[in-house]
């Protein structure tokens, strides 16, 4: 049974190691207390151009009233604009909120404090290894945290009666040539005994520069990192670093949120402290029980997975690129979703207005499209435990249909579907045993799905414009019947059907009586009105497949397949009856009538368009005979 108690989580870049660790801690601790987590994630701040405008649609997905509390991992947002918009929305809510943030938090915060460890590592070099010169290598790309750690390094030196020298602090980017320059910079004042690096990534780059320059580590230059990465653990020598307990950060966020839910109070910030992890690169002796061959094997597996991911994304992009039918797109999507490792459930949900077109296009194409029920969501694609479920519509009381929620114990990750500023809906997915395994390639898959939905929407818009152009080209603007172009376009189709099915052809020629008199007496607007009424009379008699066109002025052509001569006569009488009934009800000072002539011909394989023109010529002759009769009747 799905838990009725929910914790909402806003976090960016869910594929990151930090984010997944935090979310896993949230999910596990929430389940311990009978809560489930609904995680809303986006990809803000990446250089995706105008495409990324729709990232803020993440805020449309949640049902905010359903949450007992919310955790906002504000430090994960690259885009300050999206972060501020989410913050503004959260500040309007009445439920308890805990923020995961180091600085500038708006709610009671939980923060991982591992920057001070650079000071402890500095002290470790001074106290344990009796280093006389310790340097610091910072990071330009992540300057805020880097400078914070630099300050702790400086403070540790001062506590030991030392000041950093002019060549003891260097800041560079994540680039091998930059760490080469940093080493040269340090060595201008002599070979440094130890270097405290901003993090493991920087430390490993610097380690490579040091070894390439012919120095020994740690004998000549000792090195430490921070944030405890797998790569640092498998380096040689093994990197002394600082713990990165992100799982516990998620756990503590839930525990603090529960305090607020129960009516308790919290300090502005709760710090979760990291600890030094002493290995070999600082000069200490520690054993590495893991044979490096396993790490090499893992790296090979990663490379293979990455290559497969790139090829899979390219394959998916190519497969979905020209999709114009949504059902076909969902069928293709299934084969890709089945490849998501450890995925238990995958749902694609669309808003009721997902494929709406602009009012400008609606005006150009003489269409109306009104979507007022914005609380209805279409579950267009559903895959659970490898089995495809039927699509359905549901109300946005829950983010998924009740029959899915009621049978679920999963934590769901929600990502928005959009293209630029157009919001399509969202994807919801869960993993086996609630163990998050969200890979970066799913970001590319999400973009592929968005582009497919945009292509389908564009195809709809293009179809409407093409249909409008066809109407302009083939339809008479006054009556809505075909014009001469439309008639000639469909004539061959009707003729082929008559020949293949052995149906008799009938050609009608219809001409309005007294149009000149109406124009001269009442004006051309009234003449146009009379022509429209005659067009309506003709349209009211048409059967499926019949062809009727206004060729010019008040002259109409009609071609049918399947009428007997008696039925053709009844057709002309039906036209006259329509007009007679109209005249009885009309307040106009003039009468509307017409003259009709028709010609029937049995089906013949040799029939061509020229034969049909001969039939119209005969129908024209009969029409004029009737017109003379009508004229004589009016003058009597």
Dihedral through CA 185, CA 189, CA 194, CA 198, nearest 10? -30
Angle at the Cα of 368 from the Cα atoms of 362 and 374, rounded to 5 degrees: 105
Mean pLDDT of 617-632: 90
* pLDDT confidence of residue 103: 80
What is the residue whose two structure tokens read 């000149």?
516
Range with the poorest average pLDDT among 34-48, 403-417, 478-492: 34-48
The listed CATH number (3.50.50.60, 3.40.50.2300, 3.20.20.450, 3.90.1150.10) that belongs to domain 117-242: 3.40.50.2300
DSSP structural state of residue 140: S
Does residue 245 have a cis peptide bond before it, meaning omega lies within 30 degrees of 0?
no
* pLDDT confidence of residue 53: 74
User: 22: closest CA among 84, 92, 82, 75?
Assistant: 75
Give the CB-side neighbour count of residue 378, counting CA atoms within 13 A.
Answer: 13
User: Considering the chain, what is the average pLDDT of its residues?
Assistant: 90
Phi, psi of 20 (to 5 degrees): -65, -35
* pLDDT confidence of residue 431: 96
* pLDDT confidence of residue 406: 79
| Paired tokens of 545 | 């497949």
Residues 521/499, Cβ–Cβ less than 8 Å: no
What is the tens place of the pLDDT at every residue in 353-400? 898 876 676 666 667 665 556 689 999 999 999 999 999 999 888 899
- The strands making up 594-601's β-sheet, listed across from edge to edge, are 547-552, 555-561, 505-512, 594-601
DSSP structural state of residue 614: H
**Range 484-635 has CATH code 3.30.70.270:** yes
What is the tens place of the pLDDT at every residue in 209-263? 999 999 999 999 999 999 898 888 888 899 999 998 999 999 999 999 999 999 9
* Distance (Å, whole) CA 505 – CA 131: 106
At how many degrees (to 10) do helices 17-32 and 246-261 cross?
40
Do domains 117-242 and 484-635 share one topology? The answer is no
485 torsion bin: left (phi>0), alpha (psi -120 to 50), beta (else)? alpha
Dihedral through CA 243, CA 246, CA 251, CA 256, nearest 10? 90
* Distance (Å, whole) CA 221 – CA 184: 13
State the pLDDT confidence band at 602, using cuts at 50, 70 and 90: confident
What is the tens place of the pLDDT at every residue in 452-507? 999 999 888 877 788 788 888 899 989 999 999 999 999 999 999 999 999 999 99
Residues 28/20, Cβ–Cβ less than 8 Å: no
The per-type count for the chain, helices as H runs and strands as E runs, is 18, 22
Q: Is 107 helix (H, G, I), strand (E, B) or coil?
A: coil
| Domain residue ranges of the chain, discontinuous segments joined by + | 117-242, 484-635
Residues 316/448, Cβ–Cβ less than 8 Å: yes
Residue 304 predicted with pLDDT over 90 = no
Q: How far is CA 175 from the centre of its chain?
A: 34
Mean pLDDT of 154-179: 96
* Distance (Å, whole) CA 551 – CA 509: 10
Mean pLDDT of 522-540: 96
CB-based burial, 475-501: b 16+ in 10 Å, e otherwise: bbeebebbbeebbebbbeebbeebbee
568 torsion bin: left (phi>0), alpha (psi -120 to 50), beta (else)? alpha
State percent of the chain over pLDDT 90: 70
Residues 265/271, Cβ–Cβ less than 8 Å: no
What is the tens place of the pLDDT at every residue in 583-594? 999 999 999 999
State the pLDDT confidence band at 289, using cuts at 50, 70 and 90: low
Q: Is 180 helix (H, G, I), strand (E, B) or coil?
A: helix
Q: How far is CA 58 from the centre of its chain?
A: 10
Residue 47 predicted with pLDDT over 60 = no
């Amino acid at each position: 049974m799905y838990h009725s108690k929910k914790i909402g989580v806003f976090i960016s870049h869910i594929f990151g190691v930090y984010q997944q660790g935090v979310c896993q801690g949230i999910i596990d601790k929430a389940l311990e207390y009978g809560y489930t987590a609904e995680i809303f994630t986006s990809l803000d701040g990446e250089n995706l151009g105008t495409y990324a405008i729709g990232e803020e649609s993440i805020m449309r997905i949640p049902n905010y009233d359903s949450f007992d509390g919310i955790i906002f991992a504000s430090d994960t947002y690259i885009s300050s604009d999206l972060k501020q918009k989410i913050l503004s929305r959260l500040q309007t809510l009445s439920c308890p909120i805990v923020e995961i943030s180091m600085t500038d938090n708006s709610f009671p915060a939980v923060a991982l404090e591992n920057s001070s460890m650079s000071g402890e590592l500095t002290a470790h070099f001074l106290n344990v290894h009796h280093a006389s010169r310790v340097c610091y290598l910072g990071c330009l790309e992540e300057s805020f945290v880097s400078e914070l750690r630099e300050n702790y390094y400086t403070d540790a030196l001062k506590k030991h009666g030392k000041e950093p020298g002019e060549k003891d602090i260097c800041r560079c980017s994540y680039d091998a040539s930059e760490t080469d320059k940093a080493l040269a910079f340090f060595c201008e004042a002599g070979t440094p005994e130890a270097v405290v690096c901003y993090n493991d990534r920087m430390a490993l780059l610097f380690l490579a520069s040091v070894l390439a320059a012919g120095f020994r580590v740690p004998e000549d230059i000792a090195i430490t990192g921070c944030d405890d990465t797998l790569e640092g653990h498998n380096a040689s020598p093994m990197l002394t670093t600082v713990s990165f307990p992100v799982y516990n950060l998620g756990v503590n966020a839930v525990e603090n949120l529960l305090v607020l839910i129960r009516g308790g109070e919290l300090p502005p910030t709760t710090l979760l402290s990291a600890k030094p992890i002493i290995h070999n690169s600082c000069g200490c002796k520690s054993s590495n029980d893991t044979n490096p061959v396993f790490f090499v094997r893992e790296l090979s597996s990663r490379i293979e997975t990455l290559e497969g991911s790139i090829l899979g994304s390219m394959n998916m992009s190519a497969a979905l690129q020209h999709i114009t039918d949504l059902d076909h797109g969902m069928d293709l999507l299934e084969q890709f979703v089945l490849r998501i490792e450890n995925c238990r459930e995958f749902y694609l949900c669309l808003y009721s207005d997902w494929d709406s077109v602009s009012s400008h296009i609606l005006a150009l194409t003489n269409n109306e499209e009104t979507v007022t029920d914005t609380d209805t969501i279409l579950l267009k694609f559903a895959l659970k435990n490898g089995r495809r479920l039927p699509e359905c519509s549901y109300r946005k009381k829950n983010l998924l249909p009740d029959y899915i929620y009621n049978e679920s114990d999963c934590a769901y990750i929600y990502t928005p579907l959009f293209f630029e500023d157009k919001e399509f809906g969202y994807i919801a997915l869960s993993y086996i045993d609630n163990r998050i395994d969200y890979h970066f390639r799913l970001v590319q898959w999400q973009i592929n799905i968005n582009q497919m939905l945009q292509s389908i929407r564009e195809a709809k818009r293009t179809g409407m414009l093409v249909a409008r152009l066809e109407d302009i080209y083939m339809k008479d603007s006054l009556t809505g019947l075909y014009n001469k172009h439309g008639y000639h376009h469909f004539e061959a189709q009707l003729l082929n059907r008559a020949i293949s099915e052995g149906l008799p052809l009938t050609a009608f020629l219809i001409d309005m009586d007294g149009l000149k008199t109406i124009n001269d007496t009442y004006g051309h607007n009234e003449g146009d009105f009379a022509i429209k009424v005659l067009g309506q009379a003709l349209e009211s008699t048409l059967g499926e497949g019949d062809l009727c066109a206004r060729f010019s002025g008040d002259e109409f052509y009609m071609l049918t397949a399947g009428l007997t001569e008696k039925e053709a006569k009844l057709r002309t009488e039906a036209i006259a009856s329509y007009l007679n009934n109209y005249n009885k009800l009309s307040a106009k000072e003039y009468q509307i009538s017409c003259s009709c002539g028709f010609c029937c011909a049995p089906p013949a394989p040799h029939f061509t368009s020229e034969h049909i023109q001969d039939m119209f010529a005969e129908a024209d002759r009969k029409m004029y005979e009737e017109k003379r009769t009508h004229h004589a009747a009016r003058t009597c």
